[in-house]
Amino acid sequence: MKFTIPSSLEYLDYIAGTIYEKDATTYSGGWSQGNGSHYKLNGGGVYAGISPKLKGKHFGLTSELAVGIFTYKEYISVVRDRSNPPVDFHERNSSAGLGALASVGAYARFGRFGINPNFNMVFSGGGNSSFIFYGLTLPLTISFY
């Protein structure tokens, strides 16, 4: 969820929001044969920053630059042989602390509703690990002003 607040400058807005991400590559497998693996990654945080943009009435280009507090966790478990536990592998990485968010995209808006496809990157550092995520998002927007 993101809130955009207009500034006194025509091509600059303030932003504040929260983000939650869940990795689409989460998988599990092989447990019934006596061995297997499990992988999971998720997290999120809160952020605030600026959003420079080239505005048009219905179409435009957008970008976001923000800092925030993010936390992400990654779990990896591999069991090669349940009868010999010393060969098991289990790792948990996590980051918690300051991070950054950046994006570039476009928008189309008609009336109060629109769509804002963009390419975004999130950096989360701190704790015992750091993560960089990137990808495409396709948010639907509602304007209240």
Does the CA dihedral 30-32-33-35 come out positive or negative?
A: positive
Q: How many residues does the chain have?
A: 145
Write the pLDDT tens digit of every residue in 66-98. Answer: 999 999 888 877 766 666 655 566 678 888 889
pLDDT for the residue 9 = 93
Residue 52 has pLDDT above 80, yes or no: yes
E-strand ranges in the chain read: 2-6, 12-22, 27-29, 36-54, 59-79, 89-110, 113-115, 118-124, 131-137, 140-142
Q: How far apart are CA 47 and CA 20, in angstroms?
A: 12
Write the pLDDT tens digit of every residue in 106-144. Answer: 999 898 899 989 999 999 987 778 888 888 988 888 877
Q: Which DSSP letter does residue 80 get? A: S
pTM (two decimals): 0.77
Does the CA dihedral 65-119-71-114 come out positive or negative?
A: positive
